[in-house]
Chain A
Amino acid sequence: MTTLLMRVIPLPLRSAQRAKYVFERNVMVYRRGWMVIFSGIFEPLFYLFSIGVGLGGYIGDVTGPGGELVSYTAFVAPALLASSAMNGAVFESTMNIFFKMKYQKTYDAMLSTPIGVPDIAVGEISWSLVRGALYAASFMIVMAGLGYVESWWGLLAVPAAVLIGFAFGAVGMACSTFMRSWQDFDYVTVVTLPLFLFSATFYPLSVYPPVVQQLTRFSPLYHSVELIRALTFGVFDWSLVGHIAVLIGMGALGTMVVGRRLHRLLLT
């Protein structure tokens, strides 16, 4: 683990002391478009009230992570938090990065100054993490206000959502370095929507036949949903370590690919 980390992390962190200017640029751009950020908070809340509360009225209680019965709304809320962390990170890291790289040439402009590729990678990833934390925190406040957070461990759901954002953001950014045109972005929803709908988001895994249950373990969103659900209900077991490892692995792999690809794309 340590050697793997040492191999991955030095590349971005070694010489990224100018990453803060990349971050600063994003703050400057979004200061004008803060509505865009603010409005992103609403989508998971809409789903919470519609599926969680409205549809949940038919369902009543379901089996929670600890085996006990929990209200459907409390069951679905953490899954919506995990999904929105994924969606936010994927959108930011594919569309926006692609636009800046291919159309606006923002990175070319940055690289003609003392800023280097590691600064860009670290700056962009930390921006998306801060953004994700903001979304997660506001969603948690609503959840807690409505009484759907069963445990003080639920506070950890915010850093967990940031980890999810990091994992999907890094992989998304890596993928966007391979994209050729806007048409390719249609494939992003081809991946994210099935993940959103089938990763034990809206119902317990037990609804599936056994084969499908096994298949679901390959979904990275499934691990995200289970992680946050365990935290909001305060139910822990060893599977949590597995979920966290999957997410860290995704993030590390994505970051590694991004570092290499950006070098190849921007510094040739």
Chain B
Amino acid sequence: MSDALVTAHDLTKRFGDFTAVDSIDFEVQQGEAFGFLGPNGAGKSSTMRMIGAVSPITSGSLSVLGLDPATQGPELRSRIGVVPQEDSLDVELTVAENLMIYGRYFGLARSVIRPRIEELLDFVQLNGKRDEKVDKLSGGMKRRLTIARSLINQPELLILDEPTTGLDPQARHVLWDRLYRLKQDGVTLIVTTHYMDEAEQLCDRLVVMDQAQIVAEGAPADLIVQHSTREVLEMRFPPGTQEENIAQLSGLAERMEILPDRVLLYTPDADATSTEAHARGIRPVAQVSRRSSLEDVFLKLTGRSLVE
């Protein structure tokens, strides 16, 4: 037995004929932020629901906090926090009441919950909204309240399913900042996302999921080094001329990805490649040089984009 907080081996989930999770293996260590990166429908949420002990596993093995989700569900759930993909707040109740009743679900005494509510509202910067009805909150505030709610039982492990989907950039940064602090306080995080920037920002280690399987595993920087070049040159051509230009690009870069609206050239030095392309008489209407990202890793591994 390792000292991993979550251990999955050959973990599989089937709904009838459909295989949502196809014998995956992973381990999450104490104190790390672990990510599941993949497009919608890759099997991330199903995996999260199995970890959260609300979805029975079909086959394989899964242990969370050393417990078996199938037989020790209630005990397991009392020690973790869950931020679901869709907010499930009680819209008829106020912000503070939502935290109170959720704490009660864990069997906590009111006198224990009350100080925690103040603490958590501080933490997610909602203290001004204490007695506001949830109805009246913005999307970002609701998300923060959901996070505060998931912390009411002081969980050892926090599971976040697509925590920032649908939020504006500013609200996302506020949320990320709160999650860093949690990590600093020693809470283990498991995050699913289909945003590569989120995965790079938040995760110490991640697995890339596609079509129910894990296609790569490692730290974000290592994955990029392993599966992509240092830089990428993106070129956009006048409509209808992409194909003729592609013919001239061959041999310029280590690897080339052709997307409907642009061409990606993978190269150690984007500026050098750009100069060389211009020398060949190639004239794109727009071009960008940038560092490789997880998006490129995903493209290489699956041949598809993360966000369609």
Contact = CB atoms under 8 A, between A and B. Distances in A.
A113 B103 CA distance: 9
Chain B interface, DSSP helix/strand/loop, else mixed: loop
Given A21-B107, A267-B56, A28 B93 contact: yes
B102 A109 contact: yes
A114 B77 contact: yes
A67 interface: no
A266 B105 CA distance: 17
B105 A268 contact: no
B73 A116 contact: yes
B88 A109 contact: yes
A79 B104 CA distance: 40
A44 B264 CA distance: 72
Interface stretch (B78-86, B162-170, B299-307): B78-86
A104 B90 contact: yes
Nearest to A267: B54
Interface string B130-141: 000000000000
A28 B110 CA distance: 13
B92 A113 contact: no
A114 B105 contact: yes
A112 B151 CA distance: 12
Nearest to B84: A108
A112 B84 contact: yes
Contacts, number: 70
A111 interface: yes
Nearest to B91: A104
Contacts of B101: 21, 24-25, 28
Interface in A109-143: 109-116
A217 interface: no
Nearest to B76: A114
Given A25-B101, A104-B88, A106-B90, A112 B54 contact: yes
Contacts of B153: 113
Given A29-B90, A109-B88, A116 B104 contact: no
Interface string A98-110: 0000001110111
Contacts of B73: 114, 116
Contact of A113 (B15, B78, B89, B97): B78
Contacts of A104: 88-91
B75 A33 contact: no
B104 A21 contact: yes
Contacts of B54: 108, 111-112, 266-267
Contacts of B104: 21, 24-25
Contacts of A111: 54
Interface string A176-200: 0000000000000000000000000
Contacts of A24: 101, 104
Given A18-B105, A268-B55, 9 more contacts: A21-B104, A32-B93, A104-B90, A105-B88, A108-B88, A112-B52, A113-B78, A113-B105, A114-B77
16 contacts: A24-B104, A25-B90, A25-B104, A28-B100, A29-B90, A29-B92, A32-B93, A104-B91, A105-B84, A105-B88, A106-B90, A108-B88, A113-B78, A115-B74, A267-B54, A268-B55
